[in-house]
Amino acid sequence: MDTINQQVQQNRRRTWSVMAFFVVLIAVIGFLIGLVFAVATQDESIDWLIPTYTMVGFLIGATIYSFFVYMSVTNILMKSANAHQLQESDDPELFNIVSDLVMVAHIPMPAIYLTDDPSPNAFATGRDPQHAAVAVTKGLREMMNREELEGVLAHEISHIKNYDIRVSSITVALTTFIAGAGTVLIVSGISLIRGGRWFSWFGSDSDDDAKSSWAIAVGILVFGLIMWLGGWIIRAVGVPVAQILQFSVSRERESLADVSGVNLTRDPQGLINALTLLKNDTTPTNNPTAKSAALYINEPVTRQGKTPFLAKMFDTHPPLDERIARLKRLLGEQ
């Protein structure tokens, strides 16, 4: 079994691996979009500087955008989850549990949030242990006793201590950039298509000017159509690939956080009981599309009683039975 320090080092390496995959993905998307433009605008040989410049532009844009998202990832995810920050006077017991756990973990006190979601769940986010936050749902808070709640929160504190939150923050930032780039291209393409339809009306009455206006209008329409198609290609291909990368680290991360959490509480039974409750619960989430869903301690369930498609498709969490069995083995070893 890995030690905490080994897990931290592993997650740092994983961070760089995920970032490298995203950089390659963004570079490929930028290059292909530029290549389409080059093919559409060049009559003879392709000007390879066009896709090169487009690729560089995408990489620069991703760097700038991702930096700002990364710096404010807590606010973004908490807003997506409809969570509000708590003060100690709002829930003294919850703050007391977290305070005890971070003292054992030797990390600063994270901000604590509560969502009104009736489905029992929790997640941690932030840039690093100095800029971290933990959120629990109303359903989780009402369902679990102190021992069970301590087990869940120890799991989330472990995500913070092990720097799992840094990996997830970076992937959230880059995934939203790719999705945003696709949306911008779609909207821009539609705007150009609409503008090109009317451009010819502004030409003069002479035949030469009319032909010139029509040529420009057709060029704008083609350019807009390319942007529109490129945006949908990014949304249809780039975003799912980005989400695969985002979810690729979730499965092992959850199992490691279970074990690390037990190292903090020295009480496997608390987390075993908590995971058993989650396993038997079918309360649907009221926010299945939250950006934080991939970070939850348990896969959320929709009102149709199903796990959200992407979470199910990419198997972001180990089965609860598997996690419970692993913890029971730990209990037997004590």
pLDDT of residue 65: 82
The full set of domains in the chain, from first to last, is: 4-74+168-199+210-247 (no CATH), 80-166+248-331 (3.30.2010.10)
What is the dihedral angle through the alpha carbons of 40, 45, 48, 50, rounded to the nearest 10 degrees?
Answer: -30
More confidently predicted of 237 and 215: 237
Q: How confident is the model at residue 248 (pLDDT cuts 50, 70, 90)?
A: low
- Per-residue CA distances from 283 to 69, 132, 303, 308, 333 (Å): 31, 28, 8, 14, 34
Clarify whether 156 is annotated catalytic: yes
Catalytic residue (choose from 148, 156, 254, 299): 156
Q: Kindly tell me if the per-residue pLDDT of 163 is higher than 90.
A: no
pLDDT of residue 12: 64
Dist. CA 192–CA 228, nearest whole Å: 9
Which long-range contacts does 132-135 make (Cβ < 8 Å, 24+ apart)? 132/74, 132/107, 132/108, 132/160, 132/165, 133/74, 133/78, 134/98, 134/110, 134/160, 135/78, 135/81, 135/83, 135/292
